[in-house]
Structure 1
Amino acid sequence: MDIHTDLCAVRRNASKISNNCKLIAVIKADAYGHGSVITAKALARIADSFAVATENEAKELLAAGVDRDILILHPCRYPRLTAENVIYTLTCLRDVAAFSGRRTAIKLNTGMNRFGADAENAATLIAKAKENTLVSSVYSHFYDATDRSAVQRQLDDFERVTRGCDLPRHIVSSGALTAEVPYGIARCGIALYGGIKGYLPAMTVTAEVLETRRVHAGEHVGYGSGTLRKVAYIAVTDIGHAHGYRRLGKARYMYVAGRRRKVVSVCMDCTLVECGRETKAGDIVEVMGGHISPSELARSFGTNEYEVFTSLGAKRT
């Protein structure tokens, strides 16, 4: 199998966002499987800063020469990176002292209940952090960016808790992008990679045909007791559930020799798909791309685009 990232698409998606606001490009989890280093370099002149989940992810970007600000989204007990462009997230008073003199961002909990200081502790944390650290921003995160009423409730809570704060603020994510972005900063991930409507998909996944065969009606194909109802040509491709291509799910297709063809069986290291007699070993089929969209594959997997990207992208070389 092979995974290709269309960096032109990533840049166009980022430019579309940054036309209306400052952009914090989220490139955690290897840029959702698209390649964090190549994505950061592609967005060097578009994104205002980057966000990752962990220190190790930030360390990888630093080693690659990324000099834009890098926000670490997960809280850490102690800072291990000394680069001046690294910003650590603070979520509680307990950790403030450990980050004395370091650049930080304050994370507030407005309903997701994952990371962040609760409303009653927010003012104290912000004040204490400003006394001891170099606070760059205050932020929160939507738990359902597609639910407009939930988004508005969180926006209202965030505004109430941070009203009067003289620091940059950000809460808007990909699914909540609007023409007017509250606070003028958007922290976006999935939109950069075309995982939501209105943005260009950037990941193409292909597989190579290893072998083809003609299978008769009543014969087995792959694991299990299922048999073919009629004669068919079958291509064995080099992608399987070990590569993030799920074994179970709804009917799905690959794009083979100019046609959508039904997947018959998914094994650990290979997948069997219907084909025509013209298909031969060495041919390349599309698993996801211009003809099989991320949203279609997500529906067939019974999941979302985030998991499709990161599962398949984990095998990117």
Structure 2
Amino acid sequence: MRPLTAHIDLDALRHNYRQACRCAPEARAMAVLKANAYGHGSTACAHALADQAPAMAVACLEEGRALRDSGIACPLVLLEGFFEPCELDEIIAGHYWSVLHTHWQVDAMLEALERWPQHRVTVLVKCDSGMHRLGFAPEDVAEVCQRLTAHPGIAQTLLMTHFATADTPNSPLLTAQLATINTLRQQLDLPGCFANSPATLSVPEAHHDWVRPGVMLYGVNPLEPQHPRHGEIDQALEPVMTLESRIIAVRELKAGEPIGYGARHVTRQPTRVGVVACGYGDGYDRHAREGTPVLVDGQRVPIAGRVSMDMLTVDITALPEAGIGSRVTLWGRDVSGAVLNVSEVALWCDTIAYTLLTGILPRVPRRYHHGGTHEGLPNEAAPNGGVVGTPG
């Protein structure tokens, strides 16, 4: 009965996926659903995109298995590949596409295929073109790809990389990464899968055969504010998650009164304080600074005092009509139409939107709906008929 809910607008998710496709019309777009679809619920989001996305991407086999068990049949890309050889029988039999980024994975994959002579798999060879996280050195990629393409069990080999600075305009590192990976692609004549969300939105020379929209699917603009396309992208994407609660108590305080742990906030004048059912025990960031905005009945007001485990406090002095039961939007689209961007909230918390979205904890129910209202599917009813209180 606690009023805190994460409302997930599946129509907005589909809209954002179509935006990715419009940005890269010659490529196919695999929908990235890792980390429980960035906190939105991977099963529900996968089914919402099942008629549009020709492939989906997850971080690991466990995430893929949840989608397979829910009925998702399209190719599922394992972005970190596999961690142990014992995963390979399920990967091959389950028609997963695995990223390969180390030599032992290549050896293990080819050895496992000997046990499955009737099966052929798709693999993505990851090149470390400059991010220096995962991937083969550029000078090793050709030999790896030749081993794979020569094996009868490999149906298709894709070339893959990941960009470190695609969100930043005029980045020398991005220019260098593009030169490295595009040269390899041309030499090897392999399909390419290079573009993450920011590259999908703003780097057409990275699109090629496949793009990998991730955070943009959930309405987050991945481009830096100084990027020339930042404002345009803000207008094009729609927020998918709206984190909403209610005021559960109101305190009337005189000037000079402290609020919350550590007495960080002291009132400077007579102040009305609304207590909101949301805290860091739900995933709302405890580091939210004084003044972090929330919407109360669609009107912006500031947080006053530290975020507690189960509650936070806001200054509603400017809203005399607000009181117990007033609607509070922590981020997302309020039913009034007002929008509080999760990226703006993240700036106040000295973090990024990814952290806030993926940090919403299981005790916060997700409610799935369509069309930008909160009157859609109840919490218990998933688009595929399953139970998805906290799906994925």
- Which of the five TM-score ranges fits, normalised by the shorter chain? over 0.9
Give the corresponding residue for 1:115: 134
| Percent of residue pairs bearing the same amino acid type | 29
In the TM superposition, residue 90 of structure 1 has moved relative to its aligned partner by 0.9
| Distance (whole Å) between structure 2 residues aligned to residue 118 and residue 141 of structure 1 | 13
2:298 aligned partner, one-letter code? G
Distance in 1, Cα, partners of 2:203 & 2:105: 37
- The SS at the match of 2:35 is helix
CA contact (8 A) 1:28 1:52 kept: yes
Letter in 2 for 1:210: I
Tell me which moved more, 125-134 or 203-212. Answer: 125-134
Preserved CA contact (<8 Å) 1:36 1:61: yes
Match of 1:189 in 2: 214
Is 1:292 the equivalent of 2:321? no
- Residues 1:180 and 1:225: Cα distance change in structure 2 (over 3 Å): closer
State the distance in 2 between where 1:180 and 1:240 align: 41
Structure 2 equivalent of residue 94 of structure 1: 104
Q: In structure 1, what is the equivalent of residue 174 of structure 2?
A: 151
Name which of structure 1's ranges 79-88 and 46-55 shifts more when overlaid on structure 2.
79-88
Q: Distance in 2 between matches of 1:313 and 1:113?
A: 31
Question: CA–CA distance in 2 between the matches of 1:122 and 1:219?
Answer: 65
State the Cα distance separating 1:80 from its structure 2 match. 5.1
- Are 1:212 and 2:250 counterparts? yes
In 2: Cα distance, 1:313 partner to 1:110 partner:
35
Shift of 1:10: 0.9
Contact 2:297 2:328 in 1 (8 A): yes
- RMSD over aligned CA atoms reads 1.9
Change (3 A) 1:39 1:246: same
Q: Which residue of 2 aligns with 1:15?
A: 18
* Cα distance between partner residues in 2 of 1:235 and 1:264: 9
- AA partner of residue 286 (structure 1): T
Q: What is the rounded CA distance, in whole Å, between the counterparts of 2:191 and 2:7 in structure 1?
A: 36
CA contact (8 A) 2:148 2:157 kept: no
| TM-score for both structures, normalised by structure 2 | 0.76
Kept after mapping to 2: 8 A contact 1:140/1:171: yes
Indicate conservation of the 8 Å contact 1:169/1:185, yes or no: yes
The CA deviation string for residues 116-175 of structure 1, in whole angstroms up to 9 with x for no partner, is: 111121111111222344244111000111234332221110022232324321111111
For 1:81, the equivalent position in structure 2 comes to 90
* Alignment partner of 1:274 out of 294, 307, 315: 315
In the TM superposition, what is the alpha-carbon distance from 1:313 to its structure 2 partner? Answer: 6.3
Worse overlay, 275-284 or 116-125: 275-284
Map residues 109-258 of structure 1 onto 2, 5 A cutoff: 109-132=128-151, 133-134=153-154, 135-147=156-168, 148-149=170-171, 150-176=173-199, 177-178=201-202, 180=204, 182-196=207-221, 197=234, 198-226=236-264, 227-250=266-289, 251-258=291-298
Amino acid across the alignment from 1:2:
T
Deviation at 1:179, TM superposition (A): 7.8
Paired residue for 1:5? 8
1:308 aligns with 2:356: yes
Gaps of 5+ in 2: 114-120, 222-233, 334-338, 367-389
Determine if contact 1:34/1:313 at 8 Å carries over to the other structure. no
Task: Pick closer, same or farther for the CA change 1:153–1:49 going to 2, 3 Å.
Answer: same
- Contact 2:12–2:239, Cα closer than 8 Å, also in 1: yes
Letter in 2 for 1:283: S
| Cα displacement (A) at 1:303 | 1.6
Alpha-carbon distance between aligned partners in 2 of 1:302 and 1:152, rounded to the nearest angstrom:
29
Query: Which secondary structure does the structure 2 equivalent of 1:183 belong to?
Result: coil
Q: 2:180 corresponds to which letter in structure 1?
A: D
Aligned partners of 1:146, 1:136: CA distance in 2, in Å? 27
Does residue 1:57 correspond to 2:97, yes or no?
Answer: no
> How many Å separate the matches in 2 of 1:243 and 1:258?
22
Indicate the SS of the match to 1:67: coil
Q: Which moved more, 1:168-177 or 1:246-255?
A: 246-255
Aligned residues: 317
Pair 84,59 (structure 1): closer, same or farther in 2 beyond 3 Å:
closer
TM-score, normalization by structure 1: 0.93
Specify which structure has the bigger relative contact order, considering alpha-carbon pairs within 8 angstroms and separated by 6 or more residues. 2
Q: Is the 8 A contact 1:217 1:230 kept in 2?
A: yes
> Unpaired segments of 5 or more residues in structure 1?
none
Cα distance between partner residues in 1 of 2:361 and 2:50: 22
For residue 195 of structure 1, what is the amino acid of its counterpart?
A: V
The answer on whether the counterparts of 1:209 and 1:238 sit within 8 Å (CA) in structure 2 is: yes
